Chain A
């Protein structure tokens, strides 16, 4: 017959219960602490993200065009003829801008120029699928690239 030792069982039961209670109290305390810190953490996170984005924008504006061109020349993600074709496209774009500047149409046709540049950029980014770092940097520096292409005088 099963013999139950109530005193020992009760002792174990009490220990278990007190342990569980202690865990619950600690959990509750940490939850309340988390809740109070939550808004502060979110704020901090948002600030951090904003600072990271700002930093990345600053980093990209500091990337020189020469370096990007050099990296584009040296990348193994696209072949020699593709690079030549891209170069031809960029030169064609510059010629287009130059002609528009000569005819004093640059302000009127700015929308077309931007669309043409976006198409060119999209092509390059798609081609650089195997070099995601360079692709990302070119995308982030797109405004500087557009500016520098517009500034080039023929």
Chain B
């Protein structure tokens, strides 16, 4: 079988295997912002920027549909803090 056909078959199998309602990163971040009590104006964020400081801490910056840009700090211990920029 040709390689491109194999690739397409694998992609199809992966598509079928993953649930239809799997959450995207944009939705996930928007939900996190909403969970912390901030207005987002929609279910998905855009312009996602992610940084790791090398010690397990993560910083994510994303823009909500209402135009507000938020920063999400995830500590190495798993603590999540959200604040508008």
> What is A's interface to B at a CB cutoff of 8 Å?
76-82, 84-89, 91, 123, 127, 130
Which size bracket describes the interface of B in this complex? Answer: 20 to 34
> B21-74: which residues lie under 8 A (CB-CB) from chain A?
21-25, 27-29, 31-32, 35-36, 60, 72, 74
B79 within 8 A of partner (CB): yes
**Across the interface, which residues of A come within 8 angstroms of B25, CB to CB?**
79
CB distance from B79 to the nearest CB of A (A): 5
Identify 14 new A-B residue pairs, CB closer than 8 A, beyond the known A76-B23, A79-B29, A84-B78: A77-B21, A78-B23, A79-B25, A79-B27, A81-B31, A81-B72, A82-B23, A84-B32, A85-B36, A85-B80, A88-B79, A88-B80, A127-B35, A130-B21
The chain B residues found within 8 Å of chain A, CB to CB, are 18-19, 21-25, 27-29, 31-32, 35-36, 60, 72, 74, 78-80
Task: Give A87 to B77 CA distance when docked, in angstroms.
Answer: 11
Please tell me if the beta carbons of B78 and A79 are within 8 angstroms of each other in the complex: no
A79-B80 in contact (CB<8A)? no
Contact A82 B35 (CB under 8 A): yes
Q: Kindly identify which residue among A76, A77, A78, A87 contacts B78, using a CB–CB cutoff of 8 Å.
A: A87
